[in-house]
Amino acid sequence: MKTFLTVLLVIAMLAVLGVLLAGVIGMLRGADPRTSNKLMRARVMLQGVALAVLALLLLLIKSA
């Protein structure tokens, strides 16, 4: 279970990084503000997922 959560955490963190880079690149190119807003919402959601997975992983490690 620890391995699964660790892999899930890495995937979530890479997803956050990807959305963040897409937002920065879009901002540099002058993208539509609606697109930037959607990317920002997706980044916040993915950060929440990553934090939740991290919390579960830490609880699992602490209980072991």
What are the extents of the domains in the chain?
Answer: 2-63
pLDDT for 31 equals 82
State whether residue 32 is helix, strand or coil.
Answer: coil
- What is each CA distance from 16 to 55, 60, 62, in whole angstroms? 17, 23, 26
pLDDT in tens, 11-64: 999 999 999 999 999 999 988 889 999 999 999 999 999 999 999 999 999 987
CA end-to-end distance (rounded Å), the chain: 12
pLDDT of residue 61: 92
**Residue 63 to residue 43: CA distance in whole angstroms:** 30
